[in-house]
Structures are given as structure tokens and as C-alpha cells.
Amino acid sequence: MAQHADGGDSDMGDNLERLNANLAKMEELSKRMVAALGQKDLTADAGMSGPGQELYVKAGSALFNEMLTNPTKLMGHQVAYWSKAVENFIETQQALAAGQFEMPEDDDAPKDKRFANPMWRTHPYFRFVRKQYELNSQAIEQSMAELEGLDEKEKSRVEFFSRQIIDLFAPTNYLATNPDALQKAIDTDGQSLVDGLENLVRDIEANKGELLPTLSDPNAFKVGQNIGTAEGKVVFRNRMMEVIQYAPKTDTVYRTPLVIFPPWINKFYIMDLKPQNSLIRWIVEQGYTLFVVSWVNPDASYAEVGLEDYIEEGYLEAVRVAKEITGEKQVNAVGYCIAGTTLSATLALLQKRGDKSIKSATFFTTLTDFSDQGEFTVFLQDDFVDAIERQVTEKGILDSFFMSKTMSFLRSNDLVYGPAVRSYMMGEAPPAFDLLYWNGDSTNLPGRMVKQYLRQLCQGNELAGDGFKILGETVSIRDIKLPVCSVGTKTDHIAPWKNCYRGFSQFGSRDKTFIMSESGHIAGIINPPSKKKYGHFLNPKVKGTADEWLEGAEFHEGSWWPVWEEWLQRRSGAQVSAREPGESGYEILGDAPGTYVLATTKG
């Protein structure tokens, strides 16, 4: 007995010591958090954080008008809501009064991964909280869906921001109503909460007073060492870009070189994360001389850089370099996302100039007709764009943090609240996930370019409309005449495939091929044949609407890469001896992935 008592005293002493250490740690972390919150830029434009007051006034007026004109419908909704809420309360009260702490499985519960823990369906307290949240969510969604007196864009914005409120107040986001977090706190004697606070402070410090969860272990990857490792050399550099020529993997290559223009909203190594899913490696292995542009990560000195600079010092220079190095008169080009949009303007410009330097062009998830702005409609109205203009006029750039936050809140449960729960309440370290690491390695955008893109292309829809004025010409997607291929992705929320198709179908080219890949903006493109994961749809006729195209399309298992490569092969000429970087006389400036890609926006 004495021995048992001694053990108990020892355990209590250890627990007390651990508790005191954790309390000291929390006090230290709290001081750090206060200091980190003090770094927040209080001069930031409030208009970039939410819609203007006009939207709230219109929504409130519409709701008030509906109350006056159709009170019966409103009362019906209220009665139905309170009936279900009271029923939920009584059911829980009866279970607790009977000492019943495990209720029958709630089979009607929606399949929501946030509520995977069985306690959300069987424990009286958590079941009550979950069902009440679902009732509240349904009531809000129904009210917004039936709201009249708003135009389509206003209604979509009200629904979007209502969904943000619904997601924010999910019971999983709060310690007192999250059974997983509470259980882990008990199991770890509170250590998970200490670790969570440390993670929270780390993120606030990293984002200078702002809060956005870290999605991937920042120390797990290093560009050029375990991601972005395809063999190549930087063969050209100017203030806008580095051009990387990749080393050949075949004895002979197709005569016509390929130049890829990645988006400058993110970094190019999304196409070269790991060897097994590297599009860059795969293209080289198929026998192409490949050049990839790595864009500069701009600072405030780039404030006056516009789309004309990206075209003149980026696209046209990269094409010139590839032609000179290979001795060819033409190249094939690829543009991804915003780089595809700008490639379309470049092609139209070259057509106006009678310049045939580009033989064919491929577009990955590219929008050129912005008449339907998809999920970005909520951010492309004047209140937001006015605020962005004020910000870039003052700062010279659109800070990468704003873009990261905007993209994250389009999928808030997956990219904000879910990671926040795991990191701050469960105390988990962020995973070592290369795709999420890349997602967090974002870039700034030059002020002038941002204004042009938002005002002239997105809001003004000039490329698909009356024409976009650039470098002395007025250009349109209808000016494009060369062979073109476009790849849209089925579940893309950034560039919906139907919107990609709509603009692409207006190109003036007679030779048009459209491919629709399964999955989204990234996974649908970075879809290597070896994985045999996502299939694709093909229809040789690019005519009619997107729905009509899909109705006549045939589904094929596996990656679209080989289909596209066959298309590219027919436009790439005969085989010639492989070209090694540096042999043309161009000075080698360094190894791939170069220096521009390493520039960070944090620090």
C-alpha cells in the first residue's frame, strides 16, 4: 500500500510540475500574441475585408420589403423553424433527465466530415448543438435563396457572405463545442491547448498581425532540393523573368521548342513538385526542348509595371530567346491561368503585327471571356475593386497575403477553419504536403497590372468585347488564328471549365481542340498518366455552348497528357539532335530552378 501511495504522490507531483510548466508557457505565449497582434497594419483599407455598406442596405431593404408584402410566408418559416428547434430541445432534455448519455444513432444527419465523430450523433449535448446549427444554417440559406429585389450579382454576393457566416459559426470551430478537441485536451493534460496556442502565435507573427492558418510544414520542403528539382539551366534573365532551359532526356527532340508561361500569381514549380507528378519532367521525357518562364516576385518598385510589360519583356522576350537558342523561326507556347489570358492577348497582338513566331498555343484553365465571373463575382464588384485600387496606389503592389486569404475563403472549411481547428485546438503540426506548401508560397502583384486586369479584363471584358488596347494595338480573342488547344477542369472554382470554353469558342482559329479534365484547377492539370487517377472528356467539335459540347463529348479513363502530347507532336516538326543548355552560346546564369522563384514575400 505504501508503495502504491508513493507512486500516487509521484504522479501527482509530475502532473503539478507539468501543469505549472504549461501555465508558464501559456503566459509567455500570451505576451508574444499581444506583441504579434500589435504588428497588424491598422491603415489597411477596410474595403478589402468585406463588401461595401450599399450591399447590406440593399439586402436589408429587400428583407424588410418582403416582411411587409408577404408576412404570411415569413411567419410560416418562423413557425417551422421554432417547431424544429423546440423539438430538438425537448428531445435532448428528456434524454438528460433520464440520465441517458448515449442516444440512438441519428441516421438522418447530413454527411459532413466536420461531424465525423460519433458523439455528434449519439451524445445528447453534442447532438443538440449540431442539430441546432443545422437548423440555423438551413433557415439562413432559405431566407437568402428566397430573397427578392436584388439583381443576380447582388444575390450571389449576399448568399456567399451568408455562407461565410454559417461556416464561421460551426460548432466545430469552438473548443467548448468540439468533442475531438476537448477529448484531446483531457488525454494530453492540456498539452494540446498549449501546442495550439503556440501554433496560433506562430501564424499571427508570420502574417504580421493577421491570421491565416499555415497549411503545410514550412520546414519540410526547399525549392531546388526536394521540390522543383528537374535538371535545367537559367539561360536568360531580365527584370521580369528568368528563362529556364531544361536538360534533354532523349537523344533527339522535336524541332519546334515549347515555351511555358506559368501564372505570376503563384510560382512555376507547381509543374515540378515531385519527379512522379512533374509535368516539366514528363514533357522533356517525351522529346521536347522545353523552356519555362519563372516570373519575378515584385516589390513596390514594380508599381508601374503593367500587362504591356509582361507581354513585351516577358512573352515576346522569352519567345525570342527560345528561337535564338534553338535556331528555329517558331515556338509552341503554353499559358496557365492568368498567363493564358495574357498569352491570348499576345497572340492577338502578334496577329495584328503579322508576326508568326508562335506556331500553336495551349491554354490551361484560362479565362478570356469574363461575362460570367463565377465564384469571383463577389470580389469583382466596385466596392472591392475600388478598395484594391486604393491599396495598390498607396503600396505599389497587391500584397500576396490578400490573394492567399481571398483564395482560402473560397473554400473556407477546407483551407481556413479545418486547418485552424487541427492546428489551434488539437495542437497538431501542419502536414508535410508539397501542394499546400506551394499554395502558401505566394507572390505579390504589381499595382498597374492589377488595375488593368480587374478593370479592363474582368469588369470591362475587353478581350472578348470591343477590344483591349495594348502596345499600340486594339486586340481581341477573335484575332487569334493559329492552332489552339484549351484544357478546362471539371470542378475548377477559379476558372470554371464552362467559362473557359465560352471564351475559347470565340477564338478566330479554325483549328481548335478543347479537353475537359476531371478534378480542379491544380489536380486536373497536374494529372500524370502513371497515377491513372482522373479521366477526361473529348469532343473534336468546338461548337455551340459548353453544355452542348459536353453532351457530344466522350469520356476517357486516365490523364489527358498523352492526348495533348499527340496534338502537340503534330505541330512540332521533325526530330533533330537534342539541345543541351549553354551549347548555343547563351551564357548559363545558374541552375534550375533559378533565383527569382526563391524570393519570399514574408520576413
Instruction: Report the alpha-carbon distance of residue 135 to residue 107 in Å, rounded.
Output: 16
Identity of the residue numbered 353: R
Burial pattern 5-37, b for ≥16 Cβ within 10 A else e, equals eeeeeeeeeeeeeeeeebeeeeeebeebbeebe
Q: Cell numbers 478534378 label which residue?
A: 519
What integer is the mean pLDDT of 488-509? 96
Cell of 565: 502530347
pLDDT band at 28 (very low <50, low <70, confident <90, very high): confident
pLDDT band at 579 (very low <50, low <70, confident <90, very high): very high
Identity of the residue numbered 386: D
What does residue 50 show for φ and ψ, rounded to 5 degrees? -175, 170
Name the percent of the chain lying above pLDDT 70: 92
Based on the number of CB atoms within 10 Å of its own CB, is 313 exposed (0-12), middle (13-18) or buried (19 or more)? middle
CB distance 498 to 465 below 8 Å? no
Instruction: Report the alpha-carbon distance of residue 287 to residue 577 in Å, rounded.
Output: 10
pTM, two decimals, is 0.90
What integer is the mean pLDDT of 76-99? 83
CB distance 190 to 19 below 8 Å? yes
pLDDT for 602 beyond 80: no
Question: According to the 3-state scheme, what is the secondary structure of 67-82?
Answer: HHHCHHHHHHHHHHHH
Predicted pLDDT of residue 2 = 43
Cell of 428: 497538431
| Tens digits of residue pLDDT in 181-199 | 999 998 988 889 999 999 9
CATH code linked to domain 232-598 = 3.40.50.1820
CB distance 103 to 123 below 8 Å? yes
User: Closest by alpha carbon to 395, among 330, 445, 357, 456?
Assistant: 445
| Tens digits of residue pLDDT in 164-185 | 889 999 999 999 999 999 999 9
pLDDT band at 465 (very low <50, low <70, confident <90, very high): very high
pLDDT band at 603 (very low <50, low <70, confident <90, very high): very low
Instruction: Report the alpha-carbon distance of residue 204 to residue 211 in Å, rounded.
Output: 5
Predicted pLDDT of residue 176 = 93
| Cα angle 142-143-144, degrees, rounded to a multiple of 5 | 90
Q: Where are the domains of the chain?
A: 232-598
Question: Catalytic residue numbers?
Answer: 337
